Amino acid sequence: MPEFEELIAAAHHSERVRARRLARHGAMPERDALRQTLEQAAGTQGLAGLLRERAQERLAEAGRRAAQTARKAEALARKRAGNAAPATAWQAWFDGSAQPNPGRIGIGGLLTSPAGRRIEISRRAGHGSSSEAEYSALIALLEAAVRERPAELLVYGDSRVVIDDVNRVTAPAASLAPQRARADALLARLGQVTLRWIPRHRNAEADRLSQQGAALPDGSDA
């Protein structure tokens, strides 16, 4: 006779519910009620046949889930590999803040070489909106990159407005035309440059430098 655990594993949710009701109203052990419920579901194939069929279904479902998990892991690995910086590439992060918005602008940037050399930017940049602050930070970072002449540069920022504007993902913002023109001119002087958006929590260093810059007097560098 099947063990109660085997019956539980084979039963569908609706069958377990019916068995509990049957046990309660029929004053019988839940195991007997579940066996009776499954015997009714089995029909002519019998309880043993139903248990074999359900066991095969569970194995097939486990295989599908394992395959799905493997596909997700493979896709994540490909995504991470695609986002990883080549060993020879420079990397850069930028951020700008306006306090309030519009208000006092602070810009921050970090440029790193493949060998680990760090170039930090942290200064005041007048007054303006948050988008102008972000663009000013990007421009300052590109100016620093032009001086270093990297063959390949990956630039990260948490401003979708600026990243999408430079990458021409959205219609050009007329109010940012001067900043976009300056950024384009600097990009033309560099080699291969890729701009990528990242969430704010992954841009902590540039954010720290921009906040530090906002606290400085106008025209000051950290």
pLDDT tens digit string along 124-148? 999 999 999 999 999 999 999 999 9
Query: What mean pLDDT comes out for the span 22-35?
Result: 92
Report the pLDDT value the prediction gives residue 133, as an integer from 0 to 100. 96
Name residue 96's beta-bridge partners. 107
Q: What is the pTM of this model?
A: 0.63
Q: What are the tens digits of pLDDT across the range 156-200? A: 999 999 999 999 998 888 899 999 999 999 999 998 999 999 999
Q: How confident is the model at residue 4 (pLDDT cuts 50, 70, 90)?
A: confident
Q: Taking Cα atoms as reference points, which of 45, 36, 2 lies closest to residue 18? A: 36
Q: How far apart, in whole angstroms, are the C-alpha atoms of residue 134 and residue 101?
A: 12
Q: How far apart, in whole angstroms, are the C-alpha atoms of residue 181 and residue 163?
A: 14
| Strand-strand pairing, 103-112 and 90-99 | antiparallel
Report the pLDDT value the prediction gives residue 217, as an integer from 0 to 100. 75
Residues 6+ apart with CB under 8 A from 180: 135, 165, 166, 172, 173
Q: Are 152 and 86 in contact (CB under 8 A)?
A: yes
Q: How far apart, in whole angstroms, are the C-alpha atoms of residue 149 and residue 216?
A: 29
Q: How far apart, in whole angstroms, are the C-alpha atoms of residue 30 and residue 36?
A: 10
Report the pLDDT value the prediction gives residue 78, as an integer from 0 to 100. 60
Residues 6+ apart with CB under 8 A from 115: none
Q: How far apart, in whole angstroms, are the C-alpha atoms of residue 13 and residue 54?
A: 13
Q: How confident is the model at residue 221 (pLDDT cuts 50, 70, 90)?
A: low
For residue 143, count other CB atoms closer than 10 A to its CB: 14
Report the pLDDT value the prediction gives residue 88, as an integer from 0 to 100. 82
CA 204 to each of CA 67, 79, 146, 197: distance values in angstroms, whole numbers, following the listed order: 37, 22, 24, 14
Q: What are the tens digits of pLDDT across the range 63-85? A: 888 888 887 887 676 666 566 66
Spell out where 74-129 has E strands: 90-99, 103-112, 118-128
Q: Domains in the chain, please, with CATH?
A: 4-80 (no CATH), 90-214 (3.30.420.10)
